[in-house]
Structure 1
Amino acid sequence: MKISTIKYYVMDALKSLKRNSTVSIASVATVAATLFILGVFLLIVFNVNAGVQELGAKLEVKIFLKDNATISDKSAIEAAINKVKGVSEVKFEDKQDALNNVKKQFGEDSESLVQGFEKTNPFPNAYVVKVSNPKVVDDVVKGAAGLKGVDKIKDVREVVDKIISITNTLKIVGAVLFAILISVSLFLIANTIKLTVYSRKREIGIMKFVGATDWFIRWPFIIEGMMLGITGALLSTGVLYYAYKIVFVKYTSSLLGITLMNPHIILGTFLWQFVIGGLVIGALGSSLSIRKFLVV
Structure 2
Amino acid sequence: MKFSTIQLFITDALKSLRRNKTISIASVATVMATLFVLGAFVMILLNVKVGITDVESQVEAKVFLNDNISIDDQKNVLGKLNDIPEVINISFQTKQEALNQWKVQLGSKNKELLSGMEQNNPLPNSYIVKVKSPEDITKVESSLKGVSGIYEISDGRDIVSKISAVTKTVKWVGGVLLVILVGVSLFLISNTIKLTVYARRKEIGIMKYIGATDWFIRWPFIIEGMVIGFFGAVVADIVIYNVYALAYNRAGSFVSTMMTLVDPMYFVTNLSWAFIIGGILIGALGSILSIRKFLIV
> TM-score scaled by structure 1?
0.82
Whether the 8 Å contact between 1:92 and 1:126 is mirrored in structure 2 is yes
Task: Check if 1:229 corresponds to 2:208.
Answer: no
CA deviation string 1:119-163 (max 9, x = no partner): 543222221223454444343344335543332222434334434
Aligned to 2:262: 261
Q: How does 1:120-269 map to 2 (within 5 A)?
A: 120-254=120-254, 255-256=256-257, 258-269=259-270
Whether the 8 Å contact between 1:52 and 1:133 is mirrored in structure 2 is no
User: Equivalents in 1 of 2:152, 2:120: separation in Å?
Assistant: 21
Whether the 8 Å contact between 2:30 and 2:192 is mirrored in structure 1 is no
Q: Tell me the C-alpha RMSD between the 2 structures.
A: 3.1
User: Equivalents in 2 of 1:14, 1:63: separation in Å?
Assistant: 70
C-alpha distance 257-108 of structure 1, shift in aligned 2 (>3 A): closer
Whether the 8 Å contact between 1:226 and 1:280 is mirrored in structure 2 is yes
C-alpha distance 53-149 of structure 1, shift in aligned 2 (>3 A): same
Consecutive unaligned residues of structure 1, counting only runs of 5 or more, are: none
Aligned to 1:45: 45
| Counterpart AA for 1:128 | I
C-alpha distance 253-169 of structure 1, shift in aligned 2 (>3 A): same
Q: Secondary structure at the match of 1:283?
A: helix
User: Equivalents in 2 of 1:103, 1:175: separation in Å?
Assistant: 44
Give the Å deviation of 1:232.
2.1
Q: Secondary structure at the match of 2:212?
A: coil
Give the Å deviation of 1:26.
4.5
Consecutive unaligned residues of structure 2, counting only runs of 5 or more, are: none
| Counterpart AA for 1:279 | I
C-alpha distance 84-256 of structure 1, shift in aligned 2 (>3 A): farther
Give the Å deviation of 1:47.
2.8
| Counterpart AA for 1:284 | L
Q: How does 1:100-115 map to 2 (within 5 A)?
A: 100-103=100-103, 105=105, 112-115=112-115
Give the Å deviation of 1:245.
0.4
Give the Å deviation of 1:263.
0.8
C-alpha distance 180-29 of structure 1, shift in aligned 2 (>3 A): farther
C-alpha distance 270-116 of structure 1, shift in aligned 2 (>3 A): closer
User: Equivalents in 2 of 1:61, 1:194: separation in Å?
Assistant: 60
> TM-score scaled by structure 2?
0.82
Give the Å deviation of 1:277.
0.6
| Counterpart AA for 2:82 | N
Question: Which stretch shows the higher mean deviation, 16-25 or 117-126?
Answer: 16-25
Aligned to 2:8: 8
Q: Secondary structure at the match of 2:253?
A: coil
Q: Secondary structure at the match of 1:252?
A: helix
| Counterpart AA for 1:219 | W
Identity fraction in percent: 50
Give the Å deviation of 1:276.
0.8
